């Protein structure tokens, strides 16, 4: 049937509407397809741009990583250089100071007038101050550079304090101060030498800034921790100064009339903070002006090791009445000309028979095929031709028929060397060495060896 045969208007309208609807649907489908096509093109463009951006970012990141690796190598090289410099500085800077302190002792004995001796004593005090300053600056540099790293162990507290008080009690008694101890028999997880140094600085400060009363060193259990406290009856610290006292070269005013004991360098508490931080301990202070201060180091409490062996540093005995080295044979292994000259003068004054060696072969030659055996060996660690004192001593101990008491006198105070000396069974004596200290230790070792 054709359209001409349809005479029903309503029917025609329905057919027309259906046709129009189909046309509109077809057009909508075309528009949707075009829209999807445009969207696909847009997304493709975005993906391409994002891909380019990601590629550029990855390239930049790769270049950054290469630069970071280069900077890391530079930083590690700088740290190695700093470590080598600090090791050399510890030796090379303190060596001439050691020679000066040995020489000044001989110079004192040559003076005939009291005024000249007072001047020599003044020079000696200046050398002591210089020694303290250099050692402290080197310690700060080593801690900041990460050269000094803790060797943790279970360490008993009482032996550390016993060793410290044997050194510091005469200073307190000279000022008329009481130095008391009230500690529990506990152990802490720490590095023994670093903790000892921190406590030494706190106790020394307490004595320096106290003019009457005394200093008490005690311990308190705080849960799983131990609080080691240094309590003094000194001038105290104002609240606005409590943080500043841990900064470098900050010095508080000394008690009236106490100038003869020195003002300090203002570095003791800076060292304490660095040591405590390296040990993962905590340091705090509470003070009341005019009444005194309390410094606390808080550390983790541990059980005592199964076999508790005292690791207290050997304290040099006081000079005895029979501290006579006359006629004793001393082998000095040293390569610094100034130190050798000072040692020769000192040993000659003491009446010793001595021989000098600057390296391992010379030390072996000095024994003359075991026909000359020393009563004592005094050796430095860094010798000529890159030889090490510890290696030289091992060679000597292998060939000598008897074990000879030995002092390893060196400016190298690293933990590794201290432990090596202990393993060899020799006394480690840090430079600069005071003549009275050297003579007392030498006499003690020779008499003990008998």
Q: What is the pLDDT of residues 228-252, one digit of tens each?
A: 999 999 888 888 777 777 775 555 5
pLDDT level of residue 54 (50, 70, 90 thresholds): confident
pLDDT level of residue 415 (50, 70, 90 thresholds): confident
DSSP state of 303: P
Predicted pLDDT of residue 328: 92
Report whether 282 contacts 209 (CB < 8 A): no
Report whether 196 contacts 206 (CB < 8 A): no
**3-state SS class at 291:** coil
Report whether 275 contacts 297 (CB < 8 A): no
Q: Average pLDDT of 311-328?
A: 54
pLDDT level of residue 345 (50, 70, 90 thresholds): confident
What is d(CA 283, CA 295) in angstroms, rounded to the nearest whole number? Answer: 7
Q: Is residue 310 scored above 50 in pLDDT? A: no
DSSP 130-146: HHHHHHHHHHHHHHHHT
Predicted pLDDT of residue 321: 39
The predicted-structure confidence for 66-120, as pLDDT tens digits, reads as follows 888 888 777 766 665 655 565 555 666 677 777 777 777 777 777 767 887 788 7
Q: Average pLDDT of 254-279?
A: 67
Q: Is residue 352 scored above 90 in pLDDT? A: yes
User: Residue 408 pairs with which residues in a beta bridge?
Assistant: 379, 428
- Taking each helix axis from N to C end, the angle separating 268-278 and 192-208, rounded to the nearest 10 degrees, works out to 150
* Residue carrying the six token digits 């999807």: 36
How far from the centroid of its chain's Cα atoms is residue 255's Cα?
A: 31
What is d(CA 156, CA 165) in angstroms, rounded to the nearest whole number? Answer: 15
Q: Average pLDDT of 338-351?
A: 88
- Taking each helix axis from N to C end, the angle separating 94-110 and 9-92, rounded to the nearest 10 degrees, works out to 30
What is d(CA 417, CA 408) in angstroms, rounded to the nearest whole number? Answer: 10
pLDDT level of residue 299 (50, 70, 90 thresholds): very high
Both tokens assigned to 418: 């201290």
Query: Which CA distances in Å does 8 have to 11, 13, 212, 445?
Result: 5, 9, 130, 138
What is d(CA 323, CA 314) in angstroms, rounded to the nearest whole number? Answer: 18
What is d(CA 450, CA 448) in angstroms, rounded to the nearest whole number? Answer: 5
Query: Which CA distances in Å does 340 have to 82, 162, 241, 337, 390?
Result: 29, 35, 47, 5, 19
* Beta-sheet pairing, 178-182 with 282-288: unpaired
What is d(CA 445, CA 406) in angstroms, rounded to the nearest whole number? Answer: 8
Q: Is residue 446 scored above 80 in pLDDT? A: yes
- This prediction has a pTM of 0.53
Q: What are phi and psi of 324, to 5 degrees?
A: -115, 115
Predicted pLDDT of residue 257: 47
* Beta-sheet pairing, 225-232 with 353-357: unpaired
Report whether 204 contacts 168 (CB < 8 A): yes
What is d(CA 65, CA 46) in angstroms, rounded to the nearest whole number? Answer: 28
Both tokens assigned to 208: 């320096």
Q: Average pLDDT of 117-133?
A: 73
Mean pLDDT of the chain: 79
What is d(CA 160, CA 183) in angstroms, rounded to the nearest whole number? Answer: 11
Report whether 380 contacts 140 (CB < 8 A): no
Closest Cα to residue 301, out of 226, 237, 234?
226
Report whether 307 contacts 331 (CB < 8 A): no
pLDDT level of residue 1 (50, 70, 90 thresholds): low
């Amino acid at each position: 049937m054709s359209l001409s045969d349809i005479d029903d208007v309503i029917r025609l309208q329905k057919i027309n509407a259906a046709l129009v609807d189909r046309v509109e649907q077809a057009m909508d489908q075309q528009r949707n397809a075009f829209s999807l096509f445009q969207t696909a093109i847009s997304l493709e463009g975005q993906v391409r741009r994002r891909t380019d951006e990601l590629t550029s970012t990855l390239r930049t990141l790769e270049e950054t990583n290469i630069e970071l690796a280069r900077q890391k190598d530079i930083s590690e090289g700088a740290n190695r250089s700093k470590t080598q410099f600090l090791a050399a500085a510890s030796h090379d800077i303190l060596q001439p100071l050691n020679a000066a302190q040995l020489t000044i002792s001989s110079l004192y004995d040559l003076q005939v007038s009291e005024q000249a001796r007072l001047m020599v004593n003044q020079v000696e005090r200046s050398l002591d101050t210089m020694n303290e300053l250099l050692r402290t600056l080197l310690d700060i540099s080593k801690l900041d550079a990460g050269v000094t790293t803790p060797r943790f162990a279970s360490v008993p507290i009482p032996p550390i304090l016993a060793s410290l008080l044997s050194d510091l009690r005469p200073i307190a008694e000279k000022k008329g101060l009481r130095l008391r101890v009230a500690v529990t028999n506990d152990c802490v997880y720490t590095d023994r030498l670093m903790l000892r140094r921190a406590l030494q600085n706190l106790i020394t400060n307490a004595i320096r800034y106290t003019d009457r009363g005394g200093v008490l060193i005690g311990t308190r259990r705080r849960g799983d921790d131990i609080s080691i406290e240094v309590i003094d009856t000194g001038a105290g610290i104002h609240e606005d100064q409590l943080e500043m006292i841990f900064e470098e070269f900050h010095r508080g005013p000394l008690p009236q009339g106490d100038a003869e004991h020195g003002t300090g360098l203002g570095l003791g508490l800076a060292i304490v903070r660095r040591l405590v931080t390296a040990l993962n301990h905590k340091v705090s202070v509470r003070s009341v002006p005019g009444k005194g201060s309390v410094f606390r180091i808080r550390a983790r409490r541990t059980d005592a090791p199964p076999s508790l062996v005292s690791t207290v540093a050997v304290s040099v005995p006081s000079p005895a009445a029979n501290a006579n080295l006359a006629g004793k044979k001393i082998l000095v292994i040293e390569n610094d000309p100034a130190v050798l000259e000072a040692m020769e003068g000192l040993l000659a004054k003491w009446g010793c028979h001595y021989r000098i060696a600057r390296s391992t072969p010379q030390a072996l030659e000095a024994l003359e095929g075991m026909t000359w055996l020393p009563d004592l060996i005094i050796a430095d660690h860094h010798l000529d031709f890159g030889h090490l004192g510890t290696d030289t001593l091992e060679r000597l101990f292998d060939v000598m028929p008897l074990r000879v008491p030995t002092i390893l006198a060196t400016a190298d105070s690293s933990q590794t060397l201290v432990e090596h000396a202990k393993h060899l069974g020799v006394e480690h004596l840090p430079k600069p060495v005071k003549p009275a200290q050297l003579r007392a230790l030498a006499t003690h070792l020779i008499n003990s060896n008998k």
